[in-house]
Structure 1
């Protein structure tokens, strides 16, 4: 039923499913029903799709089939099911943010990313689980509980797009929307052996939004393959007048991933950020082997120590400032009902001076120019996504990494949020497995606005390794 002729519908690549749906080899009703059945059978093990709308989804699938039968031109996502991240508004469908305060909240309109997916023909089957207010890279909340890793259900699925990544890995839907400030698309992709792209800020505009000029957070796409992720990027990218920082380039060209191989590509390799961050040895070994793969494919690989100075202070300062603006009044109105980590970050933001915020903005500018020059020398930077493999799902966060104590729930994510501070696009691609069978992603970073070439490099690595084809032991 797909390009390999062996996978069931629920594990068929999105690009192939879309082709089959357009050609009427399979109906939208069949595809949606296959995924709803898969959710019913498997989701009790992983807890990824937390609010469901099966009846509405089947009605929309029937309507999609009827439109196609009448000769209507299908959208690029025609008939593809998706569970929307539970911080993205869905008209008429509960959006909780993982918070008891919003446990019964039903928005009246779709978020822009959802609006675009629906307009392209996607069919919403439910919502994917998140940490409370999408804070942190481990998905648990008091409304729905913990999302578990399909490769080992005692382990974390990552976050904050953890429900989305786990659902992709488990075959619950073929594509997924997410968002990323400090790694929320990349970290869960690494933990769940799927692909997550953090685009250049502005590539995928966000609405509704109050901080229109804030550069750290961005929506973005996920998939089980690079091509599937690019397909979704082609739909959700592109300008919107409500987002003043949105890039003018249309999204459609991203659907075609460049097929140029890595011969002659200049790869900078930093398995442990040049010693700047603690990284578990098995994770660093996977990144080192990824460099060897690229070298065998013809790339020129050089081990480097990239200069991320200023990233730590800038990211943490601006994140705290953002949390104060986003949640300060809510915390005051609902004392004791917002998780402590969020409340503590908001309090840090409240205490910031204008000078501190200003210095953080200057540090971002310096990082941008430093990496602009870096990418004059190199085409891609190869790094760990996460500094460790998926950890015990019963923990709030890992207490240490490679023997180094982690002071809070953010510290172990620095391998992602330092990259966020540069403004560069970054993609997590399945890179291998630990000796215990846990997934490890590798992070490919490219120059500002360089998503197209970056996806091509990721696709070449993916084709050479095929780590993403290893399915979790759920059946």
Structure 2
């Protein structure tokens, strides 16, 4: 008999609508699983089971599920503001911070009837491509304890992979949805810039970051994007209208022309040959589905990286943290704050102009292609200490670049990109990344769903006790 935690959001919602189980029973089941597994994973910073039971009870009392996914559990990344629930941002400086305002995406999820089971782990202020902090510690991929879940939405991806929730809210400023999705063998999408509102208090001033969905199936990712892609008054970059992504994921795309590359854009960094082999399998699978695949040189120049770092570090330097609190920050955070403080306003303006002009040129060169295919990561999941053992923060940063040299260019360009699990190496999942031009989220989800079906990837959760 299939257990509740083995169902994706669609199947769990159908079970709830048939009244084979109550929303409160679903919360109780997931709470028991969190209690049994999460001391090993460390995916939840703050579980909110009592609040979830109260919300689920209210849904059960209506006698009618109403919204299609009413009663389905979700989790929220601990960078995302949640009224009445502490939001630590992975920092001991904010260990007791309790916002009084919900982020727009949190409100949308609640209004759709989704029941939050709590806040998921993230590195301090979401700065790293691995998840580790001084609030909870490091989050493991459920596939192998002791190997990092990736970051910065590591807690969200680990919780989904382990069946603690069927889907979760993540955010992505340089790969932070796609990196942990690859490490944890789940599906994650960074939407087009402006697709998801950062309101009411958030600001995507640099254009790099976006909230987005993480789930075990493409259809769940698409449905959650439908929930999230609703504008708020004041949005400066809103793109498109809501309500079309689930439909796109339910149908195959037309034959597409796809550009593919597996070499990082940064010199001296190489892709693990075993990961490259999974990418090559994906090329053949796409061709068998009738798509035209062309292997090209990586179109993004290495000069993007230092300019990205200007924008990344400037944002951290602008955070309202008093100087006397600096010793309480993790070394990685201090490194980015110190780098950002050295940049002038002219440096930042020049960097932003360079990122826009250079990525535009690269995408213009790809104008005859509908989508792009690369590995998500250049390396397999790594031990927690591999990211943190160096005494030199510049060396630690270089290791992160070795780990994830493909993802950030999609943030620089503002275009959609998703990670899809398509293989395994040494018992660990390998994600393949698909990207597209601005606004092509629906087409991308259609292609991802087609690949998912053809590959036959298992969506069942991983149990770290095995």
Task: Tell me whether the two structures share a fold, i.e. TM-score over 0.5.
Answer: yes
Distance across 1 between alignment mates of 2:429 and 2:223:
24
For residues 313-372 of structure 1, the C-alpha deviation after alignment (integer angstroms, 9 at most, x for no partner) is 23111111111112xx41514130111211111111111123322221222222342244
Residue aligning to 1:187: 179
Residue aligning to 1:451: 441
Specify every segment of 5 or more residues in structure 2 that has no aligned partner in the other structure, as ranges: none
Residue aligning to 2:357: 366
Q: Secondary structure at the match of 2:367?
A: helix
1:199 aligns to 2:194 (yes or no): no
Residue aligning to 1:286: 278
If asked which structure has higher relative contact order (CA below 8 Å, sep 6+), I would say 2
Conservation of the 8 A alpha-carbon contact between 2:80 and 2:103 = yes
Q: 1:76 to 1:368 in 2, by over 3 A?
A: farther
User: Offset at 1:191?
Assistant: 0.2
Distance across 2 between alignment mates of 1:127 and 1:40:
15
1:14 aligns to 2:14 (yes or no): no
Q: Secondary structure at the match of 1:252?
A: coil
The residue correspondences of 1:23-422 to structure 2 (distance < 5 A) are 23-67=18-62, 69=63, 71=64, 74-209=66-201, 211-247=203-239, 249-261=240-252, 264-273=255-264, 277-309=269-301, 310-326=303-319, 329-396=320-387, 408=398, 410-412=400-402, 413-422=404-413
Q: Secondary structure at the match of 1:377?
A: coil
TM-score (normalizing by structure 2): 0.93
Distance across 2 between alignment mates of 1:62 and 1:209:
30
Q: 1:212 to 1:48 in 2, by over 3 A?
A: closer
Distance across 2 between alignment mates of 1:449 and 1:359:
26
Q: 1:275 to 1:341 in 2, by over 3 A?
A: closer
For residues 239-271 of structure 1, the C-alpha deviation after alignment (integer angstroms, 9 at most, x for no partner) is 111322222x33222222344435621111112
Q: Which deviates the most, 180-189 or 272-281?
A: 272-281
Conservation of the 8 A alpha-carbon contact between 1:193 and 1:468 = no
Q: Secondary structure at the match of 2:54?
A: helix
Q: 1:159 to 1:398 in 2, by over 3 A?
A: farther
- Aligned-residue CA RMSD (Å): 2.0
Conservation of the 8 A alpha-carbon contact between 2:162 and 2:463 = no
Specify every segment of 5 or more residues in structure 1 that has no aligned partner in the other structure, as ranges: 1-5, 400-404
Q: Secondary structure at the match of 1:78?
A: coil
For residues 219-247 of structure 1, the C-alpha deviation after alignment (integer angstroms, 9 at most, x for no partner) is 11111111001111000112111322222
Q: Which deviates the most, 194-203 or 17-26?
A: 17-26
Residue aligning to 2:415: 424
Distance across 2 between alignment mates of 1:408 and 1:356:
22
Distance across 2 between alignment mates of 1:11 and 1:77:
16
**Aligned length in residues:** 458
Q: Which deviates the most, 162-171 or 347-356?
A: 347-356
Distance across 1 between alignment mates of 2:162 and 2:202:
34
Q: Secondary structure at the match of 2:79?
A: coil
For residues 37-60 of structure 1, the C-alpha deviation after alignment (integer angstroms, 9 at most, x for no partner) is 111111122111121121221121
TM-score (normalizing by structure 1): 0.91
For residues 403-438 of structure 1, the C-alpha deviation after alignment (integer angstroms, 9 at most, x for no partner) is xx875354232211122212110000002111x111
Residue aligning to 1:402: none
For residues 110-144 of structure 1, the C-alpha deviation after alignment (integer angstroms, 9 at most, x for no partner) is 11111110011011111111111111011111111
For residues 33-87 of structure 1, the C-alpha deviation after alignment (integer angstroms, 9 at most, x for no partner) is 11111111111221111211212211211111112x1x5x622330011121111
